[in-house]
Amino acid sequence: MSFQSIPKIELHTHLEGCAPPSFIRGLAAEKKLDISKIFDRNGGYAFRDFDHFLQVYEAACTTLQSPEDFRRLTMAVLEETAAHGVVYMETFVSPDFCGGGDLAAWKEYLAAMVEAADEAEAKFGITLKGIVTGIRHFGPEACKPAAKCAAETFGDFITGYGMAGGEMAGRPADFSYSFDMAREAGLPLTCHAGEWGGPAMVAETIRDLGVARVGHGIGAIDDHALLDEIIERGIVLEVCPGSNVVLKAVGGWDAHPIVKLRDAGVKVTVSTDDPPFFHTTMTAEYEMLHRTFGWSEDDFRAINETALAAAFCDEDTRARVAKRLEPAQ
C-alpha cells in the first residue's frame, strides 16, 4: 500500500512549527541572527523536553520578521505537505509571531499568507485555512489581542480560533474572555488540552471554553465518564501521535491511546503538529499507524471523513474537498 498517495486531511499543524530547519537557518543567515544553539549536529532542531521545545520554537520564530518571510514559509510548507497527499490542511497562526498582536500588522502578514495559499492551491492542489491562536504561556491578557485579530479577520481564510503553548499555564477558565470574544464573532473553537494536563484539563476545556475540537486530548483516556461526555457532545480530537511519542507525552507508539479512544467511540483525526521538529510527515504517521496497529485503507478513509466533517471551513470548500477524497476511478 502506498501511504503517500492516499488523499489526506490534516487539522492540526502550527505554521511556524512546519518550518524546516534549513529554512530557518537561511532566514537567520539573511538577518545575521545567531540561533545556532537550537540545532543539533545534524542540523535538526534540538530540544530536551516540552518546555525546551517551546523555547527552541520561539527562538526559531525570531527569524520570521516580515510578511514576506511568512509568504515564503507558507509556500514552502504547502509544497512539502501536498507532496504527502494532503489535500486540505488547517494551520495555527499566532498574531504574537506576526507583528506582536497589532491588528494592522496582522492584516499585512495575513495578506501575505493568503497570497501564498492561493498560489499553492493552484500549483499543488492543497487548500489551507488558518486558525488564529493565542499562546497560553504568554498569559490571558496576551491572548485577548489574538482573539481580537481573529474576530476582525474571520472570513475565507481565517476560519477558527484556538490556543496552543504551555498547557499547564493557568486553567482553561482563565482564558474564557478570549474564547468568548472569538465565539461571539462566529468562529469555531479548538484548544490544546490533554497533551500534558490529563482528563481534568480536557474536561475544563470542553466545559469552560466551549470548544468543538480538542488539540491532542489523549489524556481523556483515563476518565470513562469524560469519554462519554466527549462522545455525547461530538467533540473531535486532533491527535498527533508522532508528536506525542517524540515529546514523550506517551511511552511509545505501542502505548499510544488513539485506538482505544477510537474504539470507545471518540471521533479521532490524525495530524503532524510540527513535522520537522518531530521528524515526521503525514506519510510517516500513516506508516506507523499501519505498522503499530494494523490500520488499513478503510481506517484511513474513516479518519479523513471524520476530519473533513470537523474541518473549520465553509460548505463549498467541504464539498470540493470531499470530491478529492474519493478514490480515483
Residues assigned a catalytic role: 195
CB-nearest residue to Zn ion: 273
CA dist 45 to 21, 59, 277, 293, Å? 6, 11, 6, 29
Identify whether the C-beta of residue 259 lies closer than 8 Å to the C-beta of residue 206. no
Among 24-32, 38-46, 177-185, 269-277, which window interacts with Zn ion (CB under 5 A)? 269-277
Question: Quick one: what does residue 262 bind among Zn ion, ligand ADE, none, with the CB cut-off 5 to 8 Å set by partner type?
Answer: none
Using CB under 6 A, list all residues that contact ligand ADE: 14, 17, 57, 164-165, 192, 195, 243, 273-274
Residue nearest to ligand ADE (CB): 164
Q: Which residue in 149, 138, 150, 199 sits closest to 174, CA to CA?
A: 138
- Per DSSP (E only), the strands in the chain are 8-14, 86-93, 127-135, 158-164, 190-193, 213-216, 236-239, 267-270
Look at residue 191 and give the partner it binds from ligand ADE, Zn ion, none, a contact being a CB closer than 5 to 8 Å depending on partner kind. Answer: none
Q: Which residue lies nearer to Zn ion by CB, 74 or 94?
A: 94
Q: Give the nearer residue to ligand ADE in terms of CB position, either 110 or 247.
A: 247
Task: Give least dist CB 194 to ligand ADE, A.
Answer: 11
Residue 273 interacts with Zn ion (CB under 5 A): yes or no: yes
Rg (alpha carbons) of the chain, rounded to whole number? 18
Least gap, CB of 297 to ligand ADE (angstroms): 28
Is residue 90 part of the contact set for Zn ion (CB under 5 A)? Answer: no
Nearest Cα residue to 129 out of 83, 190, 216 = 190
H/E run at residue 75: helix 67-82
- Which of Zn ion, ligand ADE, none does residue 285 bind to, with CB < 5 to 8 Å depending on kind? none
What does DSSP assign to residue 156?
A: T
Residue pair 240/12 in contact by the 8 Å Cβ criterion: yes
Q: Which residues bind Zn ion (CB under 5 A)?
A: 273
